[in-house]
Chain A
Amino acid sequence: MEQLINKLQKSFKLSDVKHQRENLTFVTVKKDSALDLVTHCRDYEGFSHFVLLSCVDWIEDGKFQLTYLLNNPSGKFDLGIRTFISRDNASMTSAHLLWRQIATYQRELKEMYGIDFPGSPRVDESFILEGWDEIPPMRREFDTKKYSEDTYFPREGRGSNDPATYMKSKLYPDDEK
């Protein structure tokens, strides 16, 4: 794994290398070279299996973090390639030509986060939310509790408890800590 990272360092500017486990490493690259790195890993380093494409919303930094997780079946290890894109007019180069199933991930990201992938097949069709007309629901500025209360007729008198304190008061009522 170390050897692979050192080898990749020579041709790509990797930053923030994090060895999560023995067989899982995350690296971060610039937006422009992310897909180059993915393609390189697929074609030359044996990462033939695409695991997932996911997104994290860093609203404080104004950024989305995309993670392409690749798997090397012969070496039995994973490589996560992270890249940051701007939150405003979020857009990323489509990777559906590398693996066909990425088109589905991109369709979901378009719907849930509003990240555009120009050229990806059927990216504009609704995926799970049919006829959604609010801001994309997985963006953190979307207040899902308020939306639910406004839309779905909440039943009066429904209460919730914090599981930790509730169980503590139930199981150990005498414990005064």
Chain B
Amino acid sequence: MTNETNNIVEDKLELEDKFLAPENRKRQVTTPDGTIIEVDPLRDYFSDARPQIYRPNSIPVIENFLNWARAESLWVLGFGTGCGSIELPPLTTPRFDAYRFGVQMRATPRQSNVFIISGYLSVKTLKRVVRSYEQMPNPKYVIALGSCTINGGMYYDSYNTINRLDQYMPVDVYIAGCMPRPEALLAGFNKLKELIKAGKAEKANEYVENFDWYKANQKKIIKDWNMPDYNW
């Protein structure tokens, strides 16, 4: 399994080497003691193993308890993709105060559980979004904010923004509107909490199950695919 994936990655890299930044290309490096080694930064920096499915705990009581903890402690990745990200900062202000719902902002995908796709998503941003999404640890949830993520919104005929987010990553909660106000976002958080507590927010596993379909869709529009298939 892993060997096959490695081969695919290698073949692809040779094809698309032209997109790589110079510091990420394969190259020969002379070590201080004189031997020449080959360095392939893409292989060194990233793992190319396929993602795994993590089943929920089989004991319902424990899983419900853990789901309660996950629902009450939502850590949001601070990644604003479009104009909707201007609705995120007011959440921490006295007027809306999302902290009282256990919603906190984190700056690194490794520590966050919720990814808010805020508004339109251009192809260039989608590439970064996919990487950040895959770096988040397993129970992870996506909130799609605004009409642009549902059907393209007012950018439905743009050459550069996607129309439907659910073709590229699984979405837990949609918040419609252009733009939704922070109250709508809070309602979305509460809806997400209900889903998590009911054990219905297992979209991270869904992403892994339909991994090839999602990857094909992503690669259809990200034409300079210069990263490994799965990067974590």
Whether the complex brings A and B within 8 Å at their CB atoms is answered yes
Q: Please give the residue numbers on chain A whose beta carbons come within 8 Å of chain B beta carbons, in ascending order.
A: 126, 128-133, 137, 142, 144-145, 147-149, 151-155, 158, 160
Instruction: Give chain A nearest CB distance to B59 CB in angstroms.
Output: 40
Instruction: Give chain B nearest CB distance to A121 CB in angstroms.
Output: 16
Find the B residue at minimum CB distance from A155. Answer: B151
The listed residue (B160, B162, B164) touching A129 by CB distance below 8 A is: B160
If the complex has contacts A131-B224, A154-B163, A155-B163, are A148 and B123 also in contact, measured as CB distance less than 8 A?
A: no
Q: Which of B146-172 contact A (CB under 8 A)?
A: 150-152, 156-164, 167
Report 9 cross-chain contacts, Cβ distance below 8 Å, ordered by A residue.
A129-B124, A130-B224, A147-B159, A148-B158, A151-B220, A151-B221, A153-B217, A155-B151, A155-B164
Instruction: Give chain A nearest CB distance to B165 CB in angstroms.
Output: 10
Contact A154 B223 (CB under 8 A): no
If the complex has contacts A152-B162, A152-B164, are A131 and B223 also in contact, measured as CB distance less than 8 A?
A: yes
Chain A residues with Cβ below 8 Å from B19 are: 130-131
Contact B158 A154 (CB under 8 A): no
Instruction: Give chain B nearest CB distance to A152 CB in angstroms.
Output: 4
Q: Which 6 pairs from chain A and chain B are nearest by CB? A: A131-B224, A131-B223, A155-B151, A145-B157, A152-B163, A158-B151
Instruction: Give chain A nearest CB distance to B48 CB in angstroms.
Output: 21
A142 to B159, CA, bound (A): 9
Contact A154 B123 (CB under 8 A): no
Instruction: Give chain B nearest CB distance to A131 CB in angstroms.
Output: 3
Contact B163 A153 (CB under 8 A): yes
Chain B residues with Cβ below 8 Å from A153 are: 162-164, 167, 217
Chain B residues with Cβ below 8 Å from A132 are: 223
- Is residue B127 contacting chain A, with contact meaning CB distance below 8 A? yes
If the complex has contacts A130-B127, A131-B223, A132-B223, are A154 and B156 also in contact, measured as CB distance less than 8 A?
A: yes
Instruction: Give chain A nearest CB distance to B142 CB in angstroms.
Output: 17
Instruction: Give chain B nearest CB distance to A137 CB in angstroms.
Output: 4
**Given contacts A130-B224, A148-B158, could you give 10 more A-B pairs where the C-beta distance is less than 8 Å?**
A128-B122, A144-B158, A145-B157, A148-B156, A151-B220, A152-B162, A153-B167, A154-B152, A155-B150, A160-B156
Q: Please give the residue numbers on chain B whose beta carbons come within 8 Å of chain A beta carbons, in ascending order.
A: 19, 122-124, 127, 150-152, 156-164, 167, 217, 220-225
Chain A residues with Cβ below 8 Å from B220 are: 151
Chain A residues with Cβ below 8 Å from B222 are: 130-131
The listed residue (B124, B152, B160, B225) touching A155 by CB distance below 8 A is: B152
Instruction: Give chain B nearest CB distance to A151 CB in angstroms.
Output: 6
Instruction: Give chain B nearest CB distance to A48 CB in angstroms.
Output: 34
Chain A residues with Cβ below 8 Å from B225 are: 131
Chain A residues with Cβ below 8 Å from B221 are: 151-152
Find the B residue at minimum CB distance from A126. Answer: B224
Contact B151 A154 (CB under 8 A): yes
Chain B residues with Cβ below 8 Å from A133 are: 223
If the complex has contacts A132-B223, A152-B152, A152-B164, are A144 and B124 also in contact, measured as CB distance less than 8 A?
A: no
Instruction: Give chain B nearest CB distance to A124 CB in angstroms.
Output: 12
Contact B167 A148 (CB under 8 A): no
Chain B residues with Cβ below 8 Å from A154 are: 151-152, 156, 163-164
A142 to B160, CA, bound (A): 13
Chain B residues with Cβ below 8 Å from A144 are: 157-159
Chain B residues with Cβ below 8 Å from A137 are: 159-160
Chain A residues with Cβ below 8 Å from B151 are: 154-155, 158
Find the B residue at minimum CB distance from A134. Answer: B159
Contact B156 A158 (CB under 8 A): yes
A131 to B122, CA, bound (A): 13
A30 to B127, CA, bound (A): 43
Find the A residue at minimum CB distance from B224. Answer: A131
Chain B residues with Cβ below 8 Å from A151 are: 220-221
Contact B152 A129 (CB under 8 A): no
A132 to B221, CA, bound (A): 10
